[in-house]
Amino acid sequence: MTAEKPASERIDKWLWFARFGKTRALAQKLVERGQVTLNGAKVKKTSALVRVGDRIVVVLETVKRSVTVLGLGERRGPAEEARQLYDEPVPKEKLNSEQAALPLYKPMLTRERGAGRPTKKDRRDIAREFGWDDEG
């Protein structure tokens, strides 16, 4: 028996295979934030299916990339293998600060050197900033 290649693939998987997201969870976050369009329509669900020939536009922070799907991935391989999954006929477009998307990563917490341990108030402020507080 030979396994036939599927005709379509989930968009979050394809974005991960094509290295638009470092992890599959980050690829899912791109879709959930509305930073991905498939054939001119915003993708609402991570389970949307991608087929060969589809046009995908992805906004990655300050860069907008428009690609055409050339193949479906079977695994997340090296960059050369990922590059064969799509064609980028239009060069990357730089976006200004109003059009740019939010970064996928939360900013790192930095404190001044020699500031000592955070106080209870500092810890509460940090928790509120990062969304760790349960009370609100």
- Listed by start position, the domains of the chain span 9-94
Q: Angle at CA 25, nearest 5°, toward 22 and 26?
A: 50
Instruction: Between 95 and 2, name the one with better pLDDT.
Output: 95
Asked if residues 15 and 21 have their Cβ atoms less than 8 Å apart, the reply is yes
Instruction: Between 130 and 74, name the one with better pLDDT.
Output: 74
CA distance 81 to 114: 47
pLDDT confidence of residue 129: 78
pLDDT confidence of residue 7: 86
pLDDT digit string (tens) for 54-112? Answer: 999 999 888 899 999 999 988 998 999 999 999 998 888 888 777 777 666 666 677 78
Is the entire prediction scored with pTM above 0.85?
no
Asked if residues 26 and 69 have their Cβ atoms less than 8 Å apart, the reply is no
pLDDT confidence of residue 85: 93
pLDDT digit string (tens) for 16-28? Answer: 999 998 999 999 9
Mean pLDDT value of segment 39-45: 92
CA distance 85 to 15: 10
Looking at domain 9-94, what is its CATH homologous superfamily? Answer: RNA-binding S4 domain (3.10.290.10)
